[in-house]
Chain A
Amino acid sequence: MAQLRVLSALGLAAFFGVWTLIAISGLVQPQFLPTPLAVYDQFVELLDKPFAGYTLQQHLLSSLGRFGLGFALAVAIGVPLGLLMGWFRTLDAIASPLFDALRFVAPIAWVPFAALWFGTGIGGPVLIIFSGAFPPCLINAYRGAKFVEPRYIEAARMLGASHLRMVTEVLLPASVPSIVAGLRVSAGLGWQSLIGAELIVASSGIGYLMVKGQSNISTAIVMSGMIAIGIVGVAIDVLLRALQARIERHRQ
């Protein structure tokens, strides 16, 4: 065990060591490869000195606002639609081919229409996040509804449950684990799509900060953006995983 821990430390040391060595060796200009320490300094500096109009927190806040809106829309439309498609065969037959066709369009390919329809307004990024986050919400709600144990459905039917009550009181509670698992995938894809959208159509946000850093040829700023994106992505996943664990405990 102790030996493995030493190896882990060695691995990390080698990663940062090689990076630092290349950076200070003068083989590449610091503009292209700053030392890890310089990246850290830049990150801290971005926290209180505005770059591209805002500080890092303000950029993040504006990204998170868009993400929240697009993700909420995807959940609000995808989950009910998935449940309904799982219950009504006709709706399934109508919506499935459409959905399958749309699913193959990469979220980022919506960028031109996003720009054409919304300009640089908030609608563009939200559309792209939505198209990334929507499919997992729908698919998992659909699968959850399809795999409900038939005896629950029969029991509810015997008791004379209406279609509405069947969906909200039988299918929905039974599909919760599947839906929550879908939310995690969906949030991850939505967050990625947001970054793509902001690299192209936005005038604020963490992706925009990185584009500005890129055109200033400041690797330190670009890397600071990457770090912030990684941290927020992990934080979102940790939150959803906590939600998942809580729901599972609650069900037992």
Chain B
Amino acid sequence: MGTVAAVLAAWWLLTATQVIPPTRFASPGEFWDALRQVALTGYADARLHAHILHSSKLVLLGFAVAIATGVPLGLAMGWSRRVEALANPAFLLIRPIPPLAWIPLAIVWLGLGDAAKVLVIWFAAFVPAVINSYAGVRALERHVIEAARMLGASRWMMMREVVIPGAMPHIFTGLRLSLQACWTTLVAGELIGAAAGLGHVLQQSALDLFPAMILVGMVFVALAGALMTWALGWVENRAMPWRS
């Protein structure tokens, strides 16, 4: 607490005495005014809550598609050596390319709209989802699988009752990692070109040379990211009640 108070005091002092010139960084007062402006009257074509909703919607959409495609592929690759042999080489080729590097390609293919962003977010979450589901199945203990087989579990039951719950901790680790990557990627995509969203606020404020609004944008990118990570943690605890 002391640190936070000290930083706020230093911030106020440095900007009030103009040691940091106002063209380079905003004072607490300017920050507050900018926050009121974007929250109440709007900035960069929309009000704050609309920007946040727009960004969150895209992240959740891309994230959901990535889970729906990545987790089954990872589980299949972990379960069957044949699927692994078939899919792994192509997967290894695209894996080293960071999600941000897909942005120009997505723009060439889909333009500056929401579809390009969802594609890139999908990719940012897809790779970790596959890798961690795969690792989760591989980390299952053999005797558990054999016991289930002995008891005559069908393929479907084996997946539902043994493999998926067993791989769940790894899967969630992957999802947590990729959620942060999704945010970064979305902000980058919106900085390059968008009609709404937190990244658009950042980009517009950079063009307007408006440090206070840049700061507001950064604070809300951080807050929204933290909130989503927290929400995922909540889902994780709900999905694995046996852990606590």
Task: Known A32-B109, A115-B206; judge A211-B104 contact (CB<8 A).
Answer: yes
For this complex, into which size category does the number of interface residues on chain B fall? 35 or more
**Which of A44-52, A144-152, A167-175, A226-234 is the interface stretch?**
A226-234
Task: Known A219-B105, A229-B101; judge A11-B87 contact (CB<8 A).
Answer: yes
Within the assembled complex, what's the spacing in Å between the Cα atoms of A97 and B225? 17
Chain A nearest Cβ from B10, distance in angstroms:
11
Residue pair A222, B206 in contact (C-beta under 8 Å): no
For this complex, into which size category does the number of interface residues on chain A fall? 35 or more
- Chain B residues with CB below 8 A from A199, complex form: 100, 103-104, 188, 192
Residue pair A97, B3 in contact (C-beta under 8 Å): yes
Overall SS of chain B's interface: helix
Which residues between 19 and 63 of chain B lie within 8 Å of chain A, taking CB atoms? 24
Chain B nearest Cβ from A118, distance in angstroms:
11
- Chain B residues with CB below 8 A from A176, complex form: none
- Chain A residues with CB below 8 A from B90, complex form: 11-12, 14-15
**Which of A66-74, A98-106, A158-166 is the interface stretch?**
A98-106
- Chain B 66-104, CB within 8 Å of chain A: the 1/0 string? 000000000000000110011111100100111111111
- Chain B residues with CB below 8 A from A56, complex form: none
Task: Known A12-B90, A97-B4, A223-B105; judge A4-B183 contact (CB<8 A).
Answer: no
For the A-B complex, the count of residue pairs with Cβ-Cβ distances under 8 Å equals 139
> Which of B3, B183, B205 is within 8 Å of A106, CB to CB?
B183
Residue pair A116, B206 in contact (C-beta under 8 Å): yes
In the complex, whether B218 has a CB less than 8 A from a CB of chain A is yes
Task: Known A11-B86, A195-B101, A226-B105; judge A108-B187 contact (CB<8 A).
Answer: yes
Where the two chains meet, the residues of B that have a C-beta atom closer than 8 Å to any C-beta of A are: 1-4, 7, 24, 81-82, 85-90, 93, 96-105, 107-109, 180, 183-184, 187-188, 191-192, 202-203, 205-206, 209, 211, 214, 217-218, 221-223, 225-226
Where the two chains meet, the residues of A that have a C-beta atom closer than 8 Å to any C-beta of B are: 4-5, 7-8, 10-12, 14-15, 32, 93-95, 97-98, 101, 104-113, 115-117, 191-193, 195-196, 199-200, 207, 210-211, 213-214, 217, 219, 222-223, 225-227, 229-231, 233-234
